[in-house]
Structure 1
Amino acid sequence: MNAPFRPLPSHASLPWAASLLLALAAALPAQADERQLLPANTPKAYTQECGSCHTAYPPGMLPAPSWKRLMSGLDKHYGTDASPDEKTVQQLAVWLETHAGTYKRVAEEPLQDRITQSNWFRREHRGIDAAVWKHASVKSAANCAACHSGAERGNFDERGLRFPAGLDERHRRAWQD
């Protein structure tokens, strides 16, 4: 005959549960701080080619059709010829489309395939005065690194926001909201 099940006294499982909770708590902040939107397999060519002129945007910020159009028109990329060699174009096009945004927020194809024209971008930045985008330390809405300290790593967490140099204090309200 089997012995009846007897739970351990609550104090006996406390060290084990406490250890588990401490391990989880220690792991969570590190994971949140290291959260990156650029995939681990980001091709070096992407950060070199695209990141040489602007932020190497995480591919999840646009849907696949937008990336496809962008990569097929690099000879006239917003008024500039941004064409690398054909092998690099093919490699990056496949990678971008594979890692493109599929979730509801980026399902739309923004005007001119510009991230800054997407509804979610406009919603996230609705408190930013138009003058901020034109300020010398910011230059445009596409210059993510002006405010997001982790932009070059694909991290746009609001905890990494910084107030751009030289901006008037009246614009600080948007950073505090």
Structure 2
Amino acid sequence: MTIPYRPIAFGLFALAFAALLFERAQAGGSHFFPPVSDPVVREECGSCHLAYAPSMLPARSWQRMAGDLKNHFGDDASVDTATTARITDYLVANAADTGGRRHGGKLLRGVPAADAPLRITELPRWVKEHREVPARDWKEARSKANCLACHRGAERGDYDD
């Protein structure tokens, strides 16, 4: 008796292909950025705005931002030293050029290696992705940083339209 290798090989190939597609679907496609999972970071950062995925900026940006929380985009976002260290450590470990490279690397395209941008909305890739958004939509959103105005799944890391 012979074992039908072709059907088994085809079945294994189909299974592997389906698993690959399922993984991409689970990750939210090409506009997925893992949301903040640390409860302290989610609470402290998310109390004023969407707790942005750390993979949206490089580590040097998060370090720069954490170093001047007294002047956080016009607000004083200061927290105690231990909380600042926890937030910084989490953001740096999951930044676009460290632990979040798989998801955030595309946002860093066109950003010089020495730059430490503070605004996700000024990254070349972000600008390119949003170039056709009408001015009225920005007015309704009240800010380009208000991702949730257009991306209802942003808190879950899904930025597909």
Percent identity reads 38
Q: Which residue does 2:155 correspond to in 1? A: 152
Question: What CA distance in whole angstroms lies between the structure 1 residues aligned with 2:138 and 2:116?
Answer: 19
Q: Which residue identity is paired with 1:151? A: A
How far does residue 125 in structure 1 lie from its aligned partner after superposition?
0.5
Distance 2:44 2:25 in 1: 27
Match of 1:31 in 2: 23
Q: How far apart are the structure 2 equivalents of 1:101 and 1:71?
A: 16
SS at match of 1:15: helix
- What residue identity is the alignment partner of 1:38? P
State whether residues 64 and 101 of structure 1, in contact with CA within 8 Å, keep that contact through their aligned partners in structure 2. Answer: yes
Residue 86 of structure 2 corresponds to which residue in structure 1? 91
Larger relative contact order (C-alpha < 8 A, sep ≥ 6)?
2
Alignment of 1:23-172 (within 5 A): 23-35=15-27, 36-38=32-34, 42-102=37-97, 103=105, 105-106=107-108, 107-108=111-112, 109=115, 113-135=118-140, 138-156=141-159, 158=160, 161=161
What is the count of residue pairs matched by the alignment?
145
Q: Is the CA contact (8 Å cut-off) linking 2:107 and 2:126 kept in structure 1?
A: no
Unaligned 5+ segments in structure 2 are: 98-104
Q: Is the 8 A contact 1:134 1:140 kept in 2?
A: yes
The alpha-carbon deviation at position 31 of structure 1 amounts to 1.3
Q: Distance in 2 between matches of 1:71 and 1:99?
A: 14
- Kept in 2: contact 1:110–1:119 (CA 8 A): no
Bigger Cα Rg: 1
What is the Cα deviation at residue 141 of structure 1? 1.1
| TM-score normalised by structure 2 residue count | 0.77
- Give the CA RMSD over aligned residues: 2.4
Other structure's SS at 1:87 match: helix
Q: How far does residue 100 in structure 1 lie from its aligned partner after superposition?
A: 1.8
Give, in whole Å, the separation in 1 of the partners of 2:81 and 2:116: 26
- Return the offset for 1:151: 0.8
Q: Which runs of 5+ in 1 are unaligned?
A: 1-8, 162-177
Shift of residue 91 of structure 1?
1.0
Deviation at 1:62, TM superposition (A): 1.1
Give 4+ residue runs of structure 1 displaced > 6 Å after superposition.
none
